[in-house]
A = this chain, B = another copy of it.
Amino acid sequence: MSHSIEITRTTSHKTKPAVDRLGFGIHFTDHMFIMDYEAGKGWYSPRIVPYQPISMDPAAKVFHYGQTVFEGLKAYRTNDEKILLFRPQSNFKRLNRSNVRLSIPAVDADLALEALQQLVAIDRDWIPAEEGTSLYIRPFIIATQAALGVAPSTKYQFIIIMSPVGAYYAEGVHPVKIFVESDYVRAVKGGTGDAKTAGNYAAGLKAQEEAAEKGYSQVLWLDGVHKKYIEEVGSMNVFFKINGTVVTPALNGSILEGITRHSMLQLLAHWNIPVEERTLSIQEIYDAQRDGTLEEAFGTGTAAVISPIGELNWKGEKLVIGDGGTGQLSQKLYDTLTGIQTGAVADPFGWTIEVRQ
């Protein structure tokens, strides 16, 4: 099929924020991509337009029934002024898996990638160059039909917006304190936990707020059935290094299949470090600590890449991992993956693709 994307360039470029004031997801580039869907017509009118508010009927289904999915990925500027995207095809594949769960029509992944290529190229000046910075990319789909019946929408918009983001670790990778959540539940098998959809995040806000009040950065989610098994940390996948083996919860239907998670697993296999994807109880982590075999713990996700866990608090019982600092393997994974993402380290996996400029 033809991927004819209509382009309307802005006539008033926004002022770019200073690199030390970028933050995360608060500044947006000059342009955005939009495409419409109507039942019987399919996806139509792919276009790049100036970043602008969208006009929504207040009865649009996304407001009432949360029929929406999203993705998150990054573009990086290399030292030799190339622009790299990290595994974008994986994001669009996952978007379509999320679409199935949310009864949203599939998008053409090739068209989505082409749109992304063109959008990033147009706004290439927005990609910051400083170490640790990048361009965060947010593709998402919202149900726009103005109708209050509880049923899938007949109309959607697929939108891509982009935000230059600052270094997650301005002063080097550092560990965070995590509260093990025993009351609130993020998701359960049969629900939407393995789809990237708004409701999963809405469910977590309250727990995160309460953890912050107690002095913790994020929560560690336990399964909703037994409240025993480890699922995710905040909105990241989670890994533990126990006695030389790296263990991460298996994809069980309530955990998001993270692309950073998958990359970590591939890197570890490449290095011949033993890895297990399996059911993992919080008790096992506390037992390993008591036995002296708990070596490292970290979350993985697009925003931070690696977020080392320095301390856990499970029902008041605190556990400091290692010396409370960033573990050796965590640091090595961070350095390698960010190196590949920014073109500083060779990419033996074919993960990065270059944006045509």
Binding site for B on A (CB under 8 A): 23-26, 28, 32, 51, 53-59, 62-68, 70, 100-103, 136, 138, 140, 142, 146-152, 159, 161, 163, 183-192, 197-206, 208-209, 224-225, 234-235
Contacts and interface: CB of A to CB of B under 8 A. Distances in A.
A191 B187 contact: yes
A3 B316 CA distance: 46
A150 B63 contact: no
A198 B56 contact: no
B203 A64 contact: no
Most buried by B among A51, A53, A186, A203: A203
A53 B56 contact: yes
Nearest to A62: B63
A66 B103 contact: no
Most buried by B among A54, A58, A70, A163: A58
Contact of A63 (B136, B188, B198): B198
Instruction: List 3 A-B pairs, minimum CB-CB distance, nearest first.
Output: A199-B199, A25-B148, A66-B198
Contact of A66 (B163, B188, B199): B199
A197 B64 CA distance: 7
B68 A58 contact: no
B32 A58 contact: yes
Contacts of A187: 191
18 contacts: A26-B149, A28-B59, A62-B62, A62-B63, A63-B70, A63-B142, A66-B66, A102-B206, A103-B205, A150-B234, A152-B209, A184-B190, A188-B188, A188-B224, A189-B224, A192-B202, A199-B199, A199-B202
A180 B272 CA distance: 47
Contact of A140 (B32, B64, B102, B203): B64
Contacts of A26: 146-149
B59 A25 contact: yes
A64 B58 contact: no
B209 A138 contact: no
A232 to B, nearest CB: 12
Nearest to A221: B190
Contact of A199 (B58, B203, B209, B225): B203
Contacts of A28: 59, 146
Contacts of A24: 148-149
Given A25-B59, A197-B66, A206-B101, A191 B224 contact: yes
Given A58-B159, A149-B24, A202 B209 contact: no
Nearest to A184: B190
A191 B185 contact: yes
Given A64-B68, A66-B200, A152-B209, 10 more contacts: A23-B149, A26-B146, A63-B142, A66-B68, A66-B199, A100-B206, A185-B188, A185-B189, A188-B224, A198-B199
Given A147-B26, A159-B58, A225-B225, A63 B204 contact: no
A183 B190 CA distance: 6
A67 B202 contact: yes
